[in-house]
A and B are shown apart, each in its own frame.
Chain A
Amino acid sequence: MPPDRNAPYNRTVEVLASKLRRRQIVGSRTTALETLLVLRQVVSKARFSNFEQLVEIIKTVGHRLVEAQPKEHSVGNTVRKVLHHIREEYQTATRGTSIATPKAQFSIAKFVLQGQPRKQITSALKSENRGTLKENDPDDPDSFARSLKPVLMEALQDVLDELETVYDNVSKNAKDHIHSDEIILTLGMSKTVEAFLKTAAHNRNYTVIVAETAPSYEGRQMAQSLSSAGVSTFLVPDSSIFALMSRVNKVILGAHAILANGGMFAITGSQIAATAARAHSTPVVVCAGQFKLTPLWNLYHEYAALDFGNPDEVLGFEEGQLVDKVDVVNPYWDYVRPELIDAYITNDGDHPPSSIYRLLKEAYDDEDTEL
């Protein structure tokens, strides 16, 4: 279906798409939130007379947003999540009319195939009959939409709530991961890690070493923020990560996107920090919300960069005589292999990298992997 240029939601979609394209909106959580708000408008304004139409509309909008900024993976993830929830609600709502499904029998094969036992239990509980939904009613084409929309808005609100409480939920077990008198190494400025460390500081007395994370030097912000929260903080250049690693008890990193194989994209410097940690057998823990789970495999960026930052940050024009003779590289993300990561701390519990694929199966529907 070609994008409906005259649809009432078109303007909001276009505004977000261009903001993403111009990188006026960056950061996984911000983009996820914005995407969700746009999708909510789309659902509330869209006209559809059967479920397939609705899914198609959302997919089209999702496609436009992902095309606008393919490097912000959480946009696509949010669209997938919304589709998943909508399908779930639809199935719950229509269960009454559909042919009674044979009583679910426990089978290992099914368990593995579906990979979503938990979700089924909750949906089974909710399945009070909401009355019959009539699709493609020729007399009143909007009747289907009218009766389904309230349920859908509820589902979207659930996703929104999850996003809004993500930091609290990630950090709720912080004190189980950080113990008294530990020395933690972190880098960059991840909001999730910041919340996690600050929460842990309520119960524990520990020290954080923050690497500056050149060339963005986001670590400085992080160090300032942590120290103002009363955490004993040390700010060091990236070069001393190896020298200090022997005294570090745990490395806590943030993520940009968690991939299906259990690896992740994270701010540059994460790879060297994780490798140095492995050389010293120091555990590496990643704090991230579930919206960062991405059903992608990193096939094309085994080591190299995914995105590039401004070379001016590395070699500015004050080094004028050098600028035209030298190539300057400033990759923005690192790919960190799953073998270098010990655990993911998410808002839905802690997981080893090897079980990320299962979380993905639970969170998204297979048909949405390609938007």
Chain B
Amino acid sequence: MPVPSLTDPPSTSTPAAAPAKPQGQPSQKSMTKAERRELQEKQRAAKAALKTQQPQGGGGGGGQPKAPKNPAAPPKKSQSAETSKQGASAGKDAITTADDTTGGNAVSRSLRIFSHFGLPKQVSHVKGDIHPAIIRLGLLFSEFKICGANARCIATLTAFKSVIQDYTTPPNHTLSRHLMTHLSPQITHLVSARPMSVTMGNAIRQLKLEISGSDIDMVEQDAKDALCLKIDNYIRDRIIYADEVIQDLAGSKIKDGDVILTFARSSVVEKILLNAYGKGKKFSIIVVDSPPLLEGKALLNKLTSGPNPIPCTYALLPALPSLITEVTTVLLGAHALFSNGAVYSRAGTALVAMMAKGHGVPVMVCCETYKFSEGVMVDGFGKNESAPMKVTKSTGRPEAVSPSQTLEILNPLYDLTPATFITAVVTEVGLIPPSSISSIPLALGKTIL
């Protein structure tokens, strides 16, 4: 017996397809041929209607990408003999559709506003020739096992080193031309695991420059070694040494008796604090933290785990107004710095800087120059990333709620601190006011950036 719907591809989304299903239809076997044909016609018509609908709804499609993946309500099911069960499910579908039409306006509107937050997809199965080191790194990124601008940049460059070492130029190609085409799928894979950080972007741009500039006549192994050396130098000069200089510069601003406030966890700030305390300065630290990642706990562990623990106070972000009065300096880390002086950093940083500014507490942002981005950013909303549910630390008595038709859970990872809230940016080239950020890349010789 030809079952009509089985020959058709499965319908795309559940709610839209639902109304087509006649409710409480009798099972196939009890139907006459004419009835069956009628049913088939109906389903065709519904499908056609769906196809015309879809382009219109495209604007609100941001939140729907997972819908098509669900093989929900496959037509197969509608043909099953279990009439009662099918009737019930069809009825349920009809209800959700009704909800869609009544509340649809608001929901789709919100979806559109937040659509660019795009949840990181599951690491799709590996396409093409991806190096195992990159696959491993992609998993670490998507699980947030490697997190933080510096850590991600160093990990990426290190992985690229092994990719380069394992690379052999195919015949009739030159390394300087072909290596980049070999690297780009690797980069694409990393980006699919988690959106690329500004630091990674800057480093990769630099790497591309080095590759295209490598000598054609060089022996392949020598060229690869030269590239790896360049990468090592980049990590050393722009990150490791830069951090050491920043430690000294920022450390010189910490005096005995100071109360330093910091937010979440920045690798540079952590080093500054440990270094300054190791030099015998007597100060205390307030670590302010916030969900979704609660990274401050890791910083707290580092600060207190040594033989000589630093006196620390720990509080969550809402408690900030009660603590800010006793603070002498605020030290913050950054994800990226834009040429208008705005600091793109972990969500909550802007609130901390704002409160500090309101109370006349100096705000120092510690940031290596390789984190500078040439662009301008005026709003932290436009470019953001949502933390996946599995990495958000769910705490508190009322258990974490689950999203529903009208409830969505959003965990933005970043926000943008306007330059007006920042007193100084501590870089390896000195302490500079945020208004002068744009001149730094030029002063460093733009080719490096």
Q: Which of A223, A227, A238, A303 contacts B318 (CB 8 A)?
A: A238
Q: Is the CB of B318 within 8 A of A269?
A: yes
A241-B297 in contact given A215-B396, A218-B398, A329-B315 (Cβ < 8 Å): no
Q: Which of B106, B320, B407 contacts A205 (CB 8 A)?
A: B106
Contacts of A247 in B (CB 8 A): 113, 381
Interface of chain B residues 273 through 306 with chain A (CB within 8 A):
290-292, 297, 300-301, 304-305
Q: Is the CB of A240 within 8 A of B109?
A: no
Interface of B is mostly: mixed
Which of A33-41, A156-164, A270-278 faces chain B?
A: A270-278
Most chain B Cβ neighbours within 10 Å, of A228, A237, A244? A237
The tally of residues in B whose CB lies under 8 Å from a CB in A reads 64
- Alpha-carbon distance between A335 and B321 when the two chains are bound, in angstroms: 9
Q: Is the CB of A243 within 8 A of B309?
A: no
Q: Is the CB of B297 within 8 A of A319?
A: yes
Q: How far is the CB of B20 from chain A (nearest CB, A)?
A: 26
Q: Which of B347, B381, B396 contacts A217 (CB 8 A)?
A: B396
- Alpha-carbon distance between A217 and B297 when the two chains are bound, in angstroms: 18
Q: Is the CB of A234 within 8 A of B315?
A: no
Contact with A along B400-427 (1 / 0, CB 8 A): 1100111111111011100000000000
A243-B321 in contact given A232-B406, A234-B110, A235-B410 (Cβ < 8 Å): no
- Alpha-carbon distance between A241 and B355 when the two chains are bound, in angstroms: 13
Contacts of B397 in A (CB 8 A): 216-217, 313
Q: How far is the CB of A248 from chain B (nearest CB, A)?
A: 10
Which of A61-69, A103-111, A320-328 faces chain B?
A: A320-328
- Alpha-carbon distance between A180 and B84 when the two chains are bound, in angstroms: 42
Q: Is the CB of B380 within 8 A of A243?
A: yes
Q: Is the CB of A214 within 8 A of B408?
A: no
Q: Which residue of B lies closest to A324 (CB)?
A: B304
A91 at interface, CB cutoff 8 A? no
B432 at interface, CB cutoff 8 A? no
- Alpha-carbon distance between A246 and B384 when the two chains are bound, in angstroms: 13
Contact with B along A120-150 (1 / 0, CB 8 A): 0000000000000000000000000000000
Q: Which residue of A lies closest to B317 (CB)?
A: A238
B67 at interface, CB cutoff 8 A? no
Contacts of A54 in B (CB 8 A): none
- Alpha-carbon distance between A233 and B397 when the two chains are bound, in angstroms: 21
Q: How far is the CB of B350 from chain A (nearest CB, A)?
A: 4
Contacts of B405 in A (CB 8 A): 227
Which of B131-139, B178-186, B322-330 faces chain A?
A: B322-330
Q: Is the CB of A275 within 8 A of B355?
A: yes
Q: Which of A231, A279, A330 contacts B315 (CB 8 A)?
A: A330
- Alpha-carbon distance between A315 and B316 when the two chains are bound, in angstroms: 9
B249 at interface, CB cutoff 8 A? no
Q: How many A-B residue pairs have CB under 8 A?
A: 210
Q: Is the CB of A272 within 8 A of B355?
A: yes
Contacts of A223 in B (CB 8 A): 401, 407
A314 at interface, CB cutoff 8 A? yes
Q: Which of A227, A241, A246 contacts B351 (CB 8 A)?
A: A241
A235-B317 in contact given A217-B395, A243-B416, A247-B113 (Cβ < 8 Å): no
Q: Which of B315, B321, B381 contacts A271 (CB 8 A)?
A: B321
Contacts of B290 in A (CB 8 A): 214, 237-239
Q: Is the CB of A216 within 8 A of B396?
A: yes
A230-B401 in contact given A236-B411, A314-B314, A329-B314 (Cβ < 8 Å): no
Contact with A along B177-217 (1 / 0, CB 8 A): 00000000000000000000000000000000000000000
Q: Is the CB of A322 within 8 A of B396?
A: no
Q: Which residue of B lies closest to A311 (CB)?
A: B314
A242-B350 in contact given A217-B396, A235-B401, A322-B300 (Cβ < 8 Å): yes
Contacts of A214 in B (CB 8 A): 290-291, 316-318, 395-396
Q: Which of B109, B395, B410 contacts A236 (CB 8 A)?
A: B410
Q: Is the CB of A330 within 8 A of B109?
A: no
Q: Is the CB of A243 within 8 A of B415?
A: yes
The tally of residues in A whose CB lies under 8 Å from a CB in B reads 64
Contacts of A329 in B (CB 8 A): 313-315, 319, 322-323
Interface of chain B residues 348 through 366 with chain A (CB within 8 A):
348, 350-351, 354-355, 358-359
B105 at interface, CB cutoff 8 A? yes
Interface of chain B residues 232 through 265 with chain A (CB within 8 A):
none
A212 at interface, CB cutoff 8 A? yes
Q: Which of A275, A305, A313, A321 contacts B358 (CB 8 A)?
A: A275
Q: Is the CB of A231 within 8 A of B406?
A: yes
- Alpha-carbon distance between A23 and B290 when the two chains are bound, in angstroms: 27
Contacts of A238 in B (CB 8 A): 290-291, 316-318, 348, 351
B312 at interface, CB cutoff 8 A? yes
Q: Is the CB of B401 within 8 A of A242?
A: no
Q: Is the CB of A325 within 8 A of B380?
A: no
Q: Is the CB of B406 within 8 A of A217?
A: no
Q: Is the CB of A322 within 8 A of B297?
A: yes
Q: Which of B113, B301, B358, B416 contacts A322 (CB 8 A)?
A: B301
Contacts of A325 in B (CB 8 A): 304, 309, 312
Q: Which of A183, A314, A316 contacts B316 (CB 8 A)?
A: A314
Q: Which of A220, A230, A314, A328 contacts B406 (CB 8 A)?
A: A230
Contact with B along A332-358 (1 / 0, CB 8 A): 001100000000000000000000000
Q: Is the CB of A220 within 8 A of B398?
A: yes
A239-B415 in contact given A220-B401, A272-B320, A303-B325 (Cβ < 8 Å): yes
Q: Is the CB of A233 within 8 A of B408?
A: yes
Q: Is the CB of A217 within 8 A of B398?
A: yes
10 closest Cβ pairs, A-B complex? A239-B348, A269-B318, A217-B396, A227-B407, A243-B415, A239-B290, A242-B350, A268-B318, A232-B106, A239-B347
16 inter-chain pairs at a CB distance below 8 angstroms, sorted by A residue, are A212-B396, A226-B406, A232-B107, A237-B347, A238-B316, A240-B412, A242-B347, A247-B113, A247-B381, A279-B354, A315-B314, A322-B314, A326-B314, A329-B322, A330-B315, A334-B321
| A residues with CB within 8 A of B | 181, 183, 205-207, 212-218, 220-221, 223-224, 226-228, 230-244, 246-247, 267-269, 271-272, 275-276, 279, 302-305, 313-316, 319, 321-322, 325-331, 334-335
| B residues with CB within 8 A of A | 103, 105-107, 109-110, 113-114, 290-292, 297, 300-301, 304-305, 309, 311-325, 346-348, 350-351, 354-355, 358-359, 379-381, 384, 395-401, 404-412, 414-416
Q: For the A-B complex with A215-B318, A230-B406, A327-B313 known, give 9 more contacts whose Cβ atoms are closer than 8 Å.
A: A205-B105, A205-B106, A226-B407, A246-B379, A268-B319, A303-B324, A325-B304, A327-B312, A331-B319
